[in-house]
Amino acid sequence: MTAAPLPPVAPEVTATLVEDLSPRLRKRLDAAVTKLGSRPTHRDGDTVTIAVDDDTELRLHAPGGVVATVDAITCGCLLAPACVHRAAAASAAPAADPAPEPAAEPAAESAPDAAPDPAAQPAAPTVPDSTPPPNSTPSLGDTTPPTAPALATAPPSTPVTVPAPDEATPAQREAAAALWSAGAAVLEAGVAGAGAVAQAALLRAAHTARLRQLPRGASAALSVVTLLRAARAGDPSYRTADLVTALAELLGTAHRVGTASGAELAAVRGRARRPYSPDGSLRLYGLFTEPVVTDSGHGGARTWVVTADGRLCTVGDVAPGGVGRALGVADRTVRLGDTALTHRELGRAGLAVSGATVSPDGRLGAGKGVKAVTARGAAWTEPPLAALWGTPPAEQAARALRSVSRYAEPGGGGSDLLFLDIELLGAVGESGGTCLLARCDGGVPVRLAVADDDPALAHRDNLMLLATAPGTRLRIIGRLVPAPHPRLTLLACSHPTGESTVDLGFDRLSRADLPDPGAPVHSAPDRPGGPGAESPLHLLERRVEQTVPAGRAALGMLGDVTAEARRLRRAGLPTAAGLLTALRASAARRERDLFGRLLPADTDGFAAHWLAATRYTASVAESLCAAAWEPGPAVPTHGPTEATAPRPAGSPR
């Protein structure tokens, strides 16, 4: 038999099958999942068959590509349907995205763009506050654990009440409490202990949240499940930082459902689909085109355009296919109206569009009512494009940072692109390789890194070639990389001759395009005393990340953190010191009853401390990044103090 991937299974199907198992079979579930993963599979139409053994077959029927009902998974063993095989197959298969609400307009892209983060993207992820017991979350400096909340899981059959615009319904609060409880249980057990049963609890909570009109929380729970499975399977693309972000998004979102109101509550609830709204007639000017290659195997191109009033929009074409498809799509006709322009041509030309539809993040819809004809483009030195380079770099970085923040509100819009005039200084060695050092307005040194290392793309060759031309002045477009020093991935630049522009992922420069070579290799650049140069924030970040792989107990067994807390206080970060001390104390605390027996751990209290620490470290790291872009004398050596590192809005209070 040839191997065939398992079809996605609806979250409620997996949850139901696991919940129906007896306690004895639940203990065997993880081993059964591992065993099924090594068995041969075969696809015949909409059905995938797994050979459990020589005499037994397991079938997953997926009309439409998704296993949508419990009865769609059948097993031929003697214990079926009460066997462990059906639940194991559902737990081994990918979790299907919930059925989306109809969108106002289909996107021009056929798959999600690559994002900074895999849950991403992922599900990119979007993060934020949570709802452990409304009266049980600590302040950032509080070392007293919160009182455990009453977290009830509402049965899926509870009727859905249409939410009021300014407050969550009781059903939504119950669904959020279930999300919190499931997320806290994962944090308690760690990756090693969060097997199929814990994942099923997350899937049930996600399904209930979707029914209660909480798509943001449901999406966060599915992201956690996907990352847990990747971690437990040894997926090389898995990163602990991604699971930290996804868990914090889940816990934070759940917390805020019980405390938010008005516009904030609408953002916490989220949207099931990206809405496209009519935007009338638009005059678009091409800016540049970049390749899109995702970890999930999708590939394509995204062309950035600017409206007459200076708004950034994108036209994309992304689908399964990887880097090979990305290279081919660049020279395909843009899916927008009847235009004959390719993506690369549109990046330097213009369009006149009628009946345009645009999503909040600037994606242009490609519906039947959209009409587009080719028009004259504009040079980067002409309006309206020239205005993009008129904003000071520090203001651009602050705007981009709001867009790429790990806990940004969904649908907030904004772009992570920066538009700079720079002077090349040469190559600079780093621990991870080599990047290009440049100087932008205000004398701020900027590291320019490769956007994609794939040798099939032109990014790395172009960057290394530019490093041989110190003194060259260029107008560039880059994507912000949050770091304690100014850093971008380089996407496009003006041609060194000044005659055109270069899409650095697709177009290849040659030595004939550059001034005389002979660039020196610079040592690592950092303004003396620059922001984040000696910040010990990593001491708290390390403890936050250590919790996720092994759980609360592992953190509790670590040694005393007094020395680390003292170092944080000396660096002007007393809140970080308090959070570290409280996190360690909460992890180690176990109460006993009158007979000396250990009582259950306070999982909710520990989750609240962990969430506060996670959100705080993200907020301070973003403050360090923003401060690094400020021109002139550097800010204090050890980074922001409590006065300059604001309390993260999503942290429990």
3-state secondary structure of 401: helix
Residue type, 548: V
Residues 6+ apart with CB under 8 A from 393: 418, 420, 440, 441, 442, 444, 486, 629, 631
pLDDT of residue 285: 96
CA distances from 350 to 192, 307, 376, 392, 611 (A): 53, 10, 5, 27, 47
- Number of Cβ atoms within 10 Å of the Cβ of 528: 8
For the chain, the straight-line distance linking the first and the last C-alpha, in angstroms and rounded, comes to 56
pLDDT of residue 527: 47
The rounded distance, in Å, linking the Cα atoms of 101 and 88 is 30
Considering all CA atoms of the chain, what is the largest pairwise distance in Å, rounded to the nearest integer? 83
Helices (H), 38-124: 84-92
Residue 548: alpha-carbon gap to chain centroid? 17
Residues 6+ apart with CB under 8 A from 379: 385
**Token code pair at residue 563:** 């020395």
DSSP 513: G
Listed as ranges, residues in the chain with pLDDT below 70 are 1-2, 98-165, 273-277, 296, 409-414, 432, 516-534, 632-653
3-state secondary structure of 644: coil
CA distances from 500 to 379, 420, 503 (A): 8, 16, 10
Q: Which of 205, 188, 196 is nearest to 153 (CA)?
A: 205
Beta carbons of 154 and 139 less than 8 angstroms apart? no
Phi and psi angles of residue 160, each rounded to the nearest 5 degrees, phi first: -90, 125
pLDDT of residue 99: 53
The rounded distance, in Å, linking the Cα atoms of 307 and 215 is 31
**Token code pair at residue 418:** 């920066």
pLDDT of residue 489: 95
The rounded distance, in Å, linking the Cα atoms of 525 and 437 is 8
Residue type, 355: G
pLDDT of residue 274: 62
The rounded distance, in Å, linking the Cα atoms of 79 and 76 is 8
